Amino acid sequence: MLKININNETSKLVSVILGTAVSNGPIPKIEDCYDPKSKQHVLAGTYPKEEDMILEMEAVVNILKKYDVTVFRPEVIKDYNQIFSRDIAFCIEDKLIKSNILPDRAKEFEAIDYIIKQINSSDIIELPEECHIEGGDVMPWGDYIFIGTYSGIDYPNYITARTNTNAVIALQELFPNKIVKSFELRKDNENPKENALHLDCCFQPLGQGKAILHQNGFLVESEYNWLLNFFGEENVFEITKEEMCNMNSNIFSIDEDIVISEKNFTRLNKWLRKNNFTVEEVHYSEIAKQEGLFRCSTMPLIRD
């Protein structure tokens, strides 16, 4: 049996689900794109090729295995995008919570059924239907659970709004011993530079008390300032609008001082190394064209 254990974003990783780009399906139609970045690349004729994305993900597998991490992959569904495993579920403490994701993506959870069967059924939680939530918006952090949300009355108009207030309340009820801190995110269906699809698109807590932030991703300045003060301005790496769009905050911690990052994130990687992180660099720029990166494609099950 798998005993889920996730209390933060940075403790030593033991096991993880990494998505797959195998049989990723045809280039989507514009109207079928779930985010503005994918839409831009479809229009430009630069949508990523399956073979390139497979190579990028295999490079991540190799790094995870280098650090003795057990890597699970979803069963392959023919012609179906299964890259972003963080969207479909997330873990807090000893529980795995199934996300209520876009209906078109329901099969993605079925593809990890063989993993789910290894977890005690009492530790698997399915939220009520009215709770919209995706794992990219949820970050356990010690006594806190940080959650990205959007509570505007125009929520239904945004395909980029993935986590609602009902889900925030439900998680507070599920984990009464935690402080659930929600952050209103900026949403835009057309412009990826003005859209924080998930909380991990504009914020990432790191080991050693550090964090990555992008101010414009937050709708409420005081909420951004709360994070800035929580980590301390001297410990925060502020990314630009361009860097946010390129997913610079979406790196992934293997341990308190080891991260996987994109080769092209030169400014960030230099800062990380200066702050005593081991940076494992990988090309992931094709995956990034779908508005997701390392954190989006990984779903940790156990951290020490």
Assign domain 13-303 one CATH number from 3.30.830.10, 3.30.70.1290, 3.75.10.10, 3.30.70.380. 3.75.10.10
Of 13-17, 28-32, 223-227, the range with the lowest mean pLDDT is 28-32
pLDDT digits (tens, 9 = 90+) for 231-250: 999 999 999 999 999 999 99
Mean per-residue pLDDT over the chain, rounded: 93
φ and ψ of 54, to 5 deg: -60, -45
Q: What tokens does 177 get? A: 């011993």
Contact yes or no for 57/112 (Cβ under 8 A) = no
Q: If you average pLDDT over residues 71-83, what whole number do you get?
A: 95
Rounded Cα–Cα distance for residues 37 and 91 (Å) = 27
Model pTM score: 0.94
pLDDT digits (tens, 9 = 90+) for 143-190: 999 999 999 898 778 877 789 999 999 999 999 999 999 999 998 888
Rounded Cα–Cα distance for residues 72 and 83 (Å) = 13
Rounded Cα–Cα distance for residues 70 and 72 (Å) = 7
pLDDT digits (tens, 9 = 90+) for 184-199: 999 888 887 888 889 9
Rounded Cα–Cα distance for residues 149 and 297 (Å) = 20
pLDDT at position 188: 85
Domains of the chain, residue spans: 13-303
Q: If you average pLDDT over residues 271-278, what whole number do you get?
A: 98
Q: What tokens does 75 get? A: 């069963």
| The residue type at 32 | D
